[in-house]
Amino acid sequence: MASKEYLIDILKENHVFKSGNFTLSSGKKSEYYIDMKKAITEPNILKTIAELIYQSIDGTGIDKVAGPALGAVPIATAVSLQANIPLLMIRKEKKDYGTSKLIEGELHKGDNVVVIEDVTTTGNSLIKAIKAIQDNGGIVKRAFVIVDREEGAIDSFKKENINLEPLISVTEFF
């Protein structure tokens, strides 16, 4: 059975946390970087994450698993496969060709959705993805993040009346 401690161990073994000078997607400067793209390309890490989330959502009436592009899509896919629940992929913005969809996959009004993100700093990109689901009739029941940088995301989610559930926080990692 997967555990938080095991996830931390395999993230450390795969050197997912890097020291240096980095600019984050939020624009903030940081002395460390969490390379979740490296992590989610490792089958054992991806499988462990999927098992941990599945343990939390099994039997809770979730209809869809969603992940914003790009980093969360492999994670949401792994959870979708583990739980045998259909997948939704949320684009950063509508494409201006083809079907012009913001959400790929079949979202029906009233579907109970779990949303998954790889890393949060402020939480703004995940909140945007959640609002896209809500605006299209979905009900976001749970929101997971693999690593919370503890820089305001949980408070941002509280303001939106959504509980963000980190698998691990940077404090737990260090």
For residue 15, give the amino acid letter. Answer: H
In sequence order, which ranges of 41-143 are alpha helices (DSSP H)? 43-57, 72-83, 124-135
* Structural domain span for residue 117: 4-173
Question: Which pLDDT tens digit goes with each residue over 16-64?
Answer: 999 999 998 778 899 999 998 888 999 999 999 999 999 999 999 999 9
| Below-50 pLDDT ranges, the chain | 98-100
Known binding-site residues for orotate equal 121, 149
CA-wise closest residue to 84 among 107, 50, 48, 130: 50
Q: Residues 148, 164: contact at Cβ < 8 Å?
A: yes
Known binding-site residues equal 91-92, 95, 117-125, 149
Known binding-site residues for 5-phospho-alpha-D-ribose 1-diphosphate equal 91-92, 95, 117-125
Model pLDDT, residue 170:
92
Q: Would you give the distance in Å from CA 104 to the centre of its chain?
A: 16
**What CATH number does the domain containing 134 carry?**
3.40.50.2020
Other residues' Cβ atoms within 10 Å of the Cβ of residue 147: 24
**What's the structural domain count of the chain?**
1
| pTM, entire model | 0.90
